Amino acid sequence: MTLPLTAAHLRLVAGSRLLIDDVSFTLARGEMVALIGPNGAGKSTLLRLLTGYLPPVAGECQLEGKALAQWSAQALARRRAVMLQQPTLGFDWPVAAIISMGRAPWGPQRAHDIVRQVALLSGCETLLERRYHTLSGGEQQRVQLARSLAQLWHHDGPQGWLFLDEPTSALDLYHQQQVLRLLKRLTGDGKLHVCAVLHDLNLAALWADRILLLHQGKLVAQGMPEQVIQAPLIARWYGAEVAVNTHPVAGSPQVFLAR
């Protein structure tokens, strides 16, 4: 059984600024968790702490019972993948080569087959022969998702921890729906565990099993969507006047801005 990922009293300071302030929580196996919060809340910074890209000045993050600092680079790369916001590439490779970069921790075994499988999963199969820099922002985002899934591919699918920073920001409605359906389905068997920064509160409420709300580096609310997406909480921490109603089919809370 895969052990959870735990963050204990994480703290990060940059100069005189306290970016992450005593944040603790657990990410359970098979969950799809959304990180939400206003601009500057520390969502992307927290994601970098959870994945080992940044070391905290205090506290510790443990993956499957072992501190991130104790993992070798290769072993960690085989257990967690990260899709950062708008990654920049200094080379213009074909899409198939970009996706195959995810297989670097594993070597060349089955790389071609896995690239094809994740391309089909993520809707990139028609892009494989295209040059990466000719793609739209949304197409590049789907390719980066495919690369991340390829990195976690074991025998018959992705396994481990997938961290995503605004994975739907450049996608149209159809591809938002398809990507989030895919992530929800892949977490359903308990082998893939997803933590995603999402700006769209309605997408977070519709698809996440649990939501973490950050404000100025602090974890101010967490729980199921109906526990966090409440008008008083959103108004307090976002400073916006909102109404919250219920999705007509899914029953999840949905946020509407007041005029």
Mean pLDDT estimate for the chain: 95
pLDDT recorded at residue 107: 85
Tokens coding 202: 């309605």
Tokens 């108004």, residue located? 235
Residue 70 lies in domain: 5-257
CA triple 30-168-256, angle to 5 deg: 95
Tokens 């200094």, residue located: 90
How far is Cα 28 from Cα 162, in angstroms, rounded to an integer? 12
What pLDDT shows up at residue 144? 95
> What pLDDT digit, counting tens, does each position of 211-223 carry?
999 999 999 999 9
pLDDT exceeds cutoff 70 at 78:
yes
CATH no. for residue 130? 3.40.50.300
- Rounded CA-CA distance 133/205 in Å is 33
Residue 159 confidence (pLDDT) above 70 = yes
User: What per-residue confidence (pLDDT) applies to 2?
Assistant: 65
CB 220 within 8 A of CB 237: yes
Flag whether pLDDT at 42 surpasses 80.
yes
Q: What share of the chain has pLDDT > 70, as a percent?
A: 98
Q: Would the pLDDT of 192 be above 60?
A: yes
Consecutive H or E run containing 122 = helix 111-122
* 1 has a pLDDT exceeding 70: no
pTM reported for the whole predicted model: 0.95
Phi, psi of 168 (to 5 degrees): -110, 5
At 49-64, the pLDDT tens digits run 999 999 999 999 999 9
Rounded Cα distance, 110 and 105, in Å: 13
The string of pLDDT tens digits covering residues 80-105 is: 999 988 666 777 899 999 999 999 99
Is-contact 97 104, C-beta < 8 A?
A: no
pLDDT, residue 151, reads 97
Which of 35, 50, 42 shows the shortest CA–CA distance to 14? 42
The span from the CA of 160 to the CA of 192, in Å, is: 5
With contact defined as beta carbons under 8 Å apart, do 199 and 166 qualify? yes
Matching residue, tokens 């702490």: 49
Averaged pLDDT, 142-163? 95
pLDDT confidence of 206, banded at 50, 70, 90? very high
Q: Which two tokens stand for residue 254?
A: 């949905």
What confidence score (pLDDT) does residue 255 get?
98
- Whether the pLDDT of residue 73 is over 60: the answer is yes
Class of residue 30 by CB neighbours under 10 A (exposed 0-12, middle 13-18, buried 19+): middle
Number of domains in the chain: 1
pLDDT score of 87:
65
The residue that leads in pLDDT, 156 or 258, is 258
